[in-house]
Amino acid sequence: MISPKYKEMLNQKSVIREISAYANARGKEIGYENVFDYSLGNPSVPVPEKFRETAVKLLEEKDPLALHGYSEGHGIWEVREAVAASLKKRFGLPYTGNHIFMASGAAGALAHAFRTVTVPGEDIIVFAPYFPEYVPYIEATGANIKIVEADTESFQIHFERFEELISENTAAVLINSPNNPSGIVYSGETLKRLTDILKKKQEEYGHDIYIISDEPYREIIFEGTDAPIVSRYYDNTIMCYSFSKSISIPGERIGYVAVNPNCKDGELIIHMCTQISRGIGHNCPSSLIQLVAANLLEDTADLSVYEKNMEILYKELTELGFTCVKPGGTFYMFPKALEEDAKAFCRKALKYDLALVPGDSFGCPGFFRIAYCVPTEKVERSLSAFRKLAKEYED
Amino acid sequence: MISPKYKEMLNQKSVIREISAYANARGKEIGYENVFDYSLGNPSVPVPEKFRETAVKLLEEKDPLALHGYSEGHGIWEVREAVAASLKKRFGLPYTGNHIFMASGAAGALAHAFRTVTVPGEDIIVFAPYFPEYVPYIEATGANIKIVEADTESFQIHFERFEELISENTAAVLINSPNNPSGIVYSGETLKRLTDILKKKQEEYGHDIYIISDEPYREIIFEGTDAPIVSRYYDNTIMCYSFSKSISIPGERIGYVAVNPNCKDGELIIHMCTQISRGIGHNCPSSLIQLVAANLLEDTADLSVYEKNMEILYKELTELGFTCVKPGGTFYMFPKALEEDAKAFCRKALKYDLALVPGDSFGCPGFFRIAYCVPTEKVERSLSAFRKLAKEYED
């Protein structure tokens, strides 16, 4: 029969997509250049030229049967080795190809990671504010999602609530730093405190607890921000990476799972990813795209525009009286709305053709997300709209 | 905790992969040209030149933000429309883009199709001989797999057993024609009889029963074979297609779900596919590969080699006394082994550096699969090995 579960999901519309659809419709009316669409996290700077050059070279020079042939279920071995070598050089941990599984973007990486280290009924802890798609990702595995409320002062971790929620039933903790939607980067102090607690709890409960680290924004770090990687603090870390944001290829669906080389079950976890693929029909990212990406492991698109946009918006918004924790990376910021109901606030913003996303779906009501992956000139033109919006609340 | 389910799967080694690994190891010893590796269904003819040309043109001319940007969850709209237009023209059914979901090859298409029309505990009926990966595909959905024994005279459908197995609990019937491993194409008569039964049973049980039709070999049809498509016989048909075999790009992971335009829940099923993607982390095939494939919908690699190989092998094997139903398509054939135990037979074959796969894992003991997607000169050189093998059984 038609699956009621998936049919029901059709009614759980994504708020982000709805606002984006509204912005698009409005663009048709008044011209897209006049809509300040801050709804979607879609990179606004092109892929490095080297991507095109590498792809063309492979297409023209490599034997097509090898180029387009089945790759091993784990991914193409030389690609996995190249990823490992790059991580080893950058982060100083002894990665080898055996610690890498090539996945369809971070979504695919997370889908696999969750299934390796949880069984239905166990808990996965998530920290607000969080990417709303974590909910369907986790629900599909049969694990429970347990949400730790945000520390809205810093958007680091609300440790008191975390210690209340962690239990014998906790299988994994999902973190996302640099963070969507707040733009915040977890400090070394935060990571130390988090991993100290987990080490103690592992001992207390007598079982492993994994950190699943969603890192698609790892390469978008602003000046002066220290962005330590959690794998250096905690052996049972499963890193989930995507090339979508760093080299602006979200449509190409490529990323990887990199298990910490010091994780005792690390290589087993990677082998299990391939088995999980059999059931979910993933198999592998495109072989062409794998081979191209392996050549761009330390390249990024010109990410400087995001920091520039952030500085412009942060200055203007704080001057207008908004409260906002200054982002350390990503292309998001997450200010406090000017009224308690962020949904009402975002509806008001639409009057000025500002498409903002209320924090409710990120598990953090009262705040709103700005995805400033748009051209800088548009950011500048949007400032008067923010001024008009703020003016509504002056009295 | 480490998932026991997926850990256990690591012990369920694929027999095909094991034989292929043996053939590779043997190739290292005596030279790959001397191993007659008939184990893997990996295309042996290159992708059409047009694929390279189209990819290079897109990479050089299309705006990279559009080329590599997020596609809609269902797939890129113009790609879906192009697929629909081609199916409509070829098969005379009123497909539109709304009937198409772009998937990661047939594996991805099947993973989605199963989840749309079954709930855990319902039955999916499969006909032997069948592709062994159907087992993990179906098990991952929570549905039960019910296997109809092969009609080994014709490798069409064993209807008596089918009518015994179908029940109120049947949600879907999976077919695969042209068939892996037998190379058999279901006749119009078979499809008529199958769909007549299903129509009657739908009425009797008062609920829909879907045909999920796995069609990666649709374009590999030999002369004189009539290959009717099941969608023309039955409204509740969900076609699962892959470009892997027809244009020799298995590593690019692209295919689609095409629901029969006359299926009353057809468009709903396509929307549900996108929701299912959220949970299994699929999202979409590579945007570049989608756009390239849309330009090759009616192109194929030079598939004639497969028919040539089949004729050579069929002639020799039948002369040697093998019983074999002559394939109507694919690049497989499925003769009867010369002893009851096909595993023992295939072990003997290895003495002559012939890598064949016993039928047991295809749900059809006593037979063996030859995947003749290898160069013709190698097929010719392999004949003396078959002769030596057959000689062992002469007495």
How high is the pLDDT of residue A80?
Answer: 98
CB B298 within 8 A of CB B84: no
Q: What is the mean pLDDT of residues B65-72?
A: 91
Distance, CA of A360 to CA of A343 (rounded, Å): 8
CB-CB under 8 Å, B112 with A3 = no
Per-residue confidence (pLDDT) for residue B279, from 0 to 100: 83
Average pLDDT, chain B: 96
Is B56 a domain residue? no
- Strand ranges across the sheet with A170-175: A100-103, A255-259, A237-242, A210-214, A170-175, A123-127, A144-148
Distance CA B128, CA B195 (A): 18
- B52 occurs within a structural domain: no
Res A54: pLDDT = 98
Look at residue B283 and tell me whether its pLDDT is greater than 80.
Answer: no
Per-residue model confidence (pLDDT) at position B11 = 83
Give the residue-averaged pLDDT of A11-35: 88
φ and ψ at residue B38, rounded to 5 degrees: -105, 25
Residues A167 and A138 in one domain: yes
Question: Average of pLDDT values for A27-47?
Answer: 94
B-chain residues near A140 (CB < 8 A): 278-280
- Find residues 49-108 of chain B whose CB sits inside 8 Å of chain A: 51-52, 55-56, 59-60, 63-65, 67-71, 103-105, 107-108
Residue from the list B9, B107, B285 with its beta carbon closest to the beta carbon of A275: B9
Q: Examine the domain organization and report whether B230 and B208 are in the same domain.
A: yes
* pLDDT band (50, 70, 90) for residue A122: very high
The count of C-alpha atoms lying within 13 angstroms of the C-alpha of B304, restricted to the half-sphere facing its C-beta, is 1
How would residue A9 be classed by pLDDT, with cut points 50, 70 and 90?
confident
Question: Does residue B307 lie within any of the structural domains?
Answer: yes
| Per-residue pLDDT at A46 | 96
Residue B307, token pair as written in the block: 């028919």
- Residue whose pair of structure tokens reads 């492979």 in the numeric block: A58
Q: Using DSSP bridges, classify how beta strands A36-37 and B368-371 pair: parallel, antiparallel or unpaired.
A: unpaired
Helices (H) and strands (E) in chain B, counts: 14, 12
**pLDDT value at A96 more than 80:** yes
B251 → closest Cβ in A59, A69, A118: A69
* Backbone angles phi and psi of B116, in degrees to 5: -70, -40
Same domain, B160 and B91: yes
- pLDDT tens-digit map of B144-173: 999 999 999 999 999 999 999 999 999 999
- Write the DSSP string, A306-365: HHHHHHHHHHHHHHTT---PPPSBSSEE-PBPSSS-HHHHHHHHHTTTEE-EEGGGGT-T
Report B:365-394 residues touching A (Cβ under 8 A): none
| pLDDT tens per residue, range A232-244 | 999 999 999 999 9
Cβ of B284 within 8 Å of Cβ of A248? The answer is: no
Q: If you search the block for the tokens 């709903």, which residue do you land on? A: B268
Mean pLDDT, chain A, integer? 96
Report the percent of chain A where pLDDT is more than 70.
100
Question: With contacts defined as CB-CB under 8 Å, which chain B residues touch A122?
Answer: 1
pTM of the model: 0.96
Do B235 and B329 have their domain in common?
A: no
Of A293, A309, A330, the position where a domain reaches its end is A293
Residues in contact with B128: Cβ distance below 8 Å, sequence separation at least 6, in sequence order: B147, B148, B149, B150, B362, B363, B364
Kindly state whether residue B382 falls inside one of the protein's structural domains.
yes
Decide if B45 contacts B248 (C-beta within 8 A). yes
Answer whether A1 sits within 8 Å of B122, measured CB to CB: yes
CB distance B282–A2 less than 8 Å? no
DSSP readout, B301-331? --THHHHHHHHHHHHHHHHTT---PPPSBSS
Q: What is the CATH number of the domain that holds B15?
A: 3.90.1150.10
The answer to the question of residue B57 being in a domain is no
Q: Can you give B32-80 as a three-state secondary structure string?
A: HHHCEECCCCCCCCCCCHHHHHHHHHHHHHCCHHHHCCCCCCCCCHHHH
What pLDDT is attached to residue A10?
85
Which pLDDT band holds residue B88 (cuts at 50, 70, 90)?
very high
Query: Exposed e or buried b for every residue in B334-343, given b needs 16+ CB within 10 A?
Result: bbbbbeeebb
Domain total for chain B?
Answer: 2
Q: Give the pLDDT confidence of A132-159 residue by residue, as tens digits.
A: 999 999 999 999 999 999 999 999 999 9
Do residues A61 and A180 both lie within one domain?
Answer: yes
| A contacts of B107 (beta carbons < 8 Å) | 278, 281-283
Q: What is the CATH number of the domain that holds B231?
A: 3.40.640.10
Judgement on whether residues B33 and B170 belong to the same structural domain of the protein: no
The reply to whether A143 and A203 lie within a common domain is yes
Residue B55 lies in a domain: no
What is the structure's pLDDT at A6? Answer: 87
pLDDT in tens, A190-219: 999 999 999 999 999 999 999 999 999 999
**pLDDT category of residue A67 using cuts at 50, 70 and 90:** very high
Q: Is B297 strand, coil or helix?
A: coil
Whole-angstrom distance, CA of residue B282 vs CA of residue A103:
9
Kindly indicate the confidence band of residue B17, based on its pLDDT and cuts at 50, 70 and 90: confident
In a domain, B53, yes or no: no
| Cβ atoms of residues B97 and B261 within 8 Å | no
SS3 content of chain B, % helix, strand, coil (to 5): 45, 15, 40
Name the more confident of B225 and B395.
B225
Name the more confident of B14 and A305: A305
Of A277, A293, A309, which residue is a domain's last? A293
Domain of A154 in residue numbering reads as 50-293
Q: Which residue of A has its CA nearest to B5?
A: A119
Query: Whose CA is closest to B202, among B243, B237, B250, B155?
Result: B237
> Does B261 share its domain with B370?
no
Task: Calculate how close chain B gets to A155, using CA atoms only, in Å.
Answer: 26
Select the more confidently predicted residue: A163 or B73.
A163
Q: Does A169 touch chain B (CB under 8 A)?
A: no
Q: pLDDT tens digits for B97-106?
A: 999 999 999 9
B148 and B286 in a single domain? The answer is yes
Residue B229 shares a structural domain with residue B357: no
Query: Do residues B241 and B381 share a domain?
Result: no
List the single range of A119-128, A364-373, B63-72, B258-267 with lowest mean pLDDT.
Answer: B63-72
Chain A nearest C-alpha distance from B365 (Å): 24
Please say which residue of A257, A274, A293 terminates a domain: A293
Are residues B316 and B276 both part of a single domain? no
Of the given ranges (A70-79, B15-24, B26-35), which has the lowest mean pLDDT?
Answer: B15-24
What crossing angle do the helices spanning B105-117 and A266-280 adopt, rounded to 10°? 70
Whether B348 and B389 have beta carbons less than 8 Å apart is answered as: yes
Q: Quick: pLDDT tens for B160-213.
A: 999 999 999 999 999 999 999 999 999 999 999 999 999 999 999 999 999 999
